[in-house]
Structure 1
Amino acid sequence: MNIVISGPELGTGSASSSEVDDVLLDAYSSTVVNVAKKVSPSVVQIKVSGQPQPARQPAQRGRTHEGDGTGSGFVISTDGYLVTNNHVVAGASTIRVVLPDRDELPATLVGRDPATDIAVLKVYTDGLRAIRFADSGKVQVGQIAIALGNPYGFQYSLTAGVVSALGRTLRSESGRLIDDVVQTDAALNPGNSGGPLVNSQGDVIGVNTAIILPAQGLCFAVSSNLANRVVGKLITEGRVRRGYLGIAGQLINLTERIRQYNQLTARTGVMIASVEPDGVADNNNLRQGDIIVGYNGHEVATVDDLHKLLTDSTIGRSAQVIVLRDGRKRGVMVTPGELTGN
């Protein structure tokens, strides 16, 4: 069956131009256009000054030049709370937010979390439009992913792609791994950092955080579920609390003989290089040279495993650490303190 689309120039009874446009726009285009209309009023540009130049890293996050920086953010409440990346605002002496209507306002830093590269700002104005976090646990590989932000300082830009992978990990500037990272091929550029990655309903599924410059189509966003939890902590407490053992550790391979003798499944552990007697944590039972292989009933194979286990719920609570000492497994008690200056 042939379908003929007639324009006004083809005679009477023809479709209006708006009707023709509606037909010509396929479902994908319509989705992206509708998302752009819904989300764009909530996306802001962030300008900072007095910021130190960071060391170059494989996952580039976008700075202009020393002392100046630019990034993106988005409104999560009508009373002025904004979400962006920690690396966009870290160390800045002044932070200003450019709204979609081009109004430029001073912003207050509410809190930041280097471990997840999330920060919250506050501006004081009326008429803001907020967007909401979606449940990233329901995100599927292959679904539409739309990134919005201000690449290279250009006011407002949109790119579209798909969710390429879920459950990735990414090393933050603090040295910790960010878990539950969403990978997308929606193009990001320096300045997109802190902008929203949204689904086809215009709800946030991630906070754009990094690109890998030598690669094509490898872009990453902190998942909305993780970002939402961190944002809540930053708004209510100004920080995210984490446990601290007061040790320096390094990955070490375990010999097959040691593993079999101690009935260990992991091939690695965390060897304690030094113990800091700073009084923050009760770590007197730990010794330099101990190899940590378990914490509070959980296996520990890497430093990252230990970081994941040292949550705010561990602070001030005694727990058993399983270590290898003189080649034999034994349990010692510790009480984590609170990590500060993170």
Structure 2
Amino acid sequence: MRKSVLALLAVATLGLAACDRIAPQRSGGGETTVTEAGTRTVTPRGALSDSEQSTVSLFANAAPSVVQVVGRTQTSIGAGSGFVWDQQGHVVTNNHVVEAQEIMVRLANGDALRAEVIGRAPQYDIAVLRLERAPGVPPLAIGSSSDLRVGQSVFAIGNPFGLDQSLSSGIVSALQRRLPTPQGREIADVIQTDAAINPGNSGGPLLDSAARVIGVNTAIFSPTGVNSGIGFAIPIDTVARVVPDLIANGRTPTAGIGILVADEAVATRLGVEGVLIWETSPGGPAARAGLRGTNPQAGVLGDVIVEANGHPVARLADLTNEFERVGVGRTITLVIERGKGNRSQVQVPVQDIGD
């Protein structure tokens, strides 16, 4: 009995397999189409929508000028993104992407080229590479970040997790954010976006809908290190000001007045509202203008900067941002407090305090 049941199951299975093909049938003198069981007919679609066509065109035109940047150290290999800046073979990326002994750049067509770092601006997290030969692709168009509006469309092209030539899209989520740097300064007017920016996107371009670079993707805000809808890009107006200096001189000026300020936590504990001067550089602009540092032994606080060029100063970033706006070689107007309630105005030249 058991054998006969198994035999029937086998016959039934064979029968089902044989029925996967539908034999031609006559119906009304005609023959039906032979089809595979379970197959579906492709439904034709119309043309892509205008927005889809625009995005496809944007990627097709911009992607060849976006590169993968690979940095090798003695112990590790890291990767990020970058984009072609000019016809001479210069590539813009993040400074933190190229903190390595050996740099290679892989073009969109797969070519791998050696590259050297010819300029760094750590205070803006920007670096410029020079390729061993011109890449043979056009540089990306440069836009402006001064007229961006929250809600407008943006597109990021890069190499997240090493997956090259990836496109993500979103909107400008916020403007005028501040991004801290390891040097104790802050990058001003940073663009916030919800376009997916993940590890490997750093250094790649953030584009507007006209395929112009409006920012350089640099960081995400996420406890897991994976995109959570909040990414940041350095504004192109800053990048466009810094890059020519990096190409010509290898560095860009760091605007300042020659002071060392107290840690914000220390100033808060001392009841200081503003930026407390801890030391002045001998012979520097601040010292020549008569500004005073703190004397811990005597228990005397230094001058507190509370205003710069008419803007309130609550922390160091407020002050350094005003230095950047004024620029090296010009004069900044400071309001200082020396002793409780005793305020005065002083003019101080801004100079290059970089190494």
Question: What TM-score, normalized by structure 2, do the two folds share?
Answer: 0.75
**Distance in 1 (alpha carbons) for counterparts of 2:281 and 2:77:** 37
Cα displacement string for residues 91-150 of structure 1 (whole angstroms, at most 9, x for unaligned residues): x21211111111111112121211111111111235222111112223222222111101
Name whichever of 109-118 and 135-144 sits farther off. 135-144
* Structure 1 segment 16-165 matched on structure 2, within 5 A: 23-50=46-73, 66-90=75-99, 92-123=100-131, 124-165=133-174
Give 1:179's aligned residue. 188
Unaligned runs of 5+ in 2: 1-43, 295-300
Q: Return the letter of the residue paired with 2:338.
A: R
Cα displacement string for residues 34-74 of structure 1 (whole angstroms, at most 9, x for unaligned residues): 111011100000011228xxxxxxxxxxxxxx532211000
Give 1:293's aligned residue. 306
Give 1:283's aligned residue. 287
Could you say what secondary structure the match of 1:183 adopts? strand
CA contact (8 A) 1:241 1:311 kept: no
Give 2:244's aligned residue. 232
Cα distance, 1:167 vs structure 2: 1.9
Distance 1:336 1:142, change over 3 A: closer
**Distance in 1 (alpha carbons) for counterparts of 2:184 and 2:162:** 28
Cα distance, 1:306 vs structure 2: 1.4
Cα distance, 1:84 vs structure 2: 0.6
Q: Return the letter of the residue paired with 2:105.
A: V
Distance 1:293 1:150, change over 3 A: same
Cα distance, 1:184 vs structure 2: 1.1
CA contact (8 A) 2:280 2:286 kept: no
Instruction: Return the index of the structure with the highest Cα Rg.
Output: 2
**Distance in 2 (alpha carbons) for counterparts of 1:206 and 1:317:** 27
Give 1:189's aligned residue. 198
Identical amino acids, percent of aligned pairs: 40
The one of the two structures with greater contact order (alpha-carbon pairs below 8 A, sep at least 6) is 1
Could you say what secondary structure the match of 2:209 adopts? coil
2:266 corresponds to 1:249:
no
CA contact (8 A) 1:168 1:182 kept: yes
Q: CA RMSD in A?
A: 2.8
Q: Identify which of 282, 305, 310 aligns with 2:318.
A: 305
Unaligned runs of 5+ in 1: 1-19, 52-65, 259-266
**Distance in 2 (alpha carbons) for counterparts of 1:273 and 1:88:** 33
Could you say what secondary structure the match of 2:183 adopts? coil
CA contact (8 A) 2:192 2:230 kept: yes
Cα distance, 1:308 vs structure 2: 1.5
Distance 1:67 1:32, change over 3 A: same
Name whichever of 191-200 and 211-220 sits farther off. 211-220
CA contact (8 A) 1:242 1:338 kept: yes
* Structure 1 segment 195-214 matched on structure 2, within 5 A: 195-214=204-223
Could you say what secondary structure the match of 2:261 adopts? strand
**Distance in 1 (alpha carbons) for counterparts of 2:255 and 2:62:** 37
**Distance in 1 (alpha carbons) for counterparts of 2:200 and 2:110:** 17
**Distance in 2 (alpha carbons) for counterparts of 1:165 and 1:320:** 30
**Distance in 2 (alpha carbons) for counterparts of 1:332 and 1:273:** 18
Aligned residues: 296
Distance 1:127 1:33, change over 3 A: same
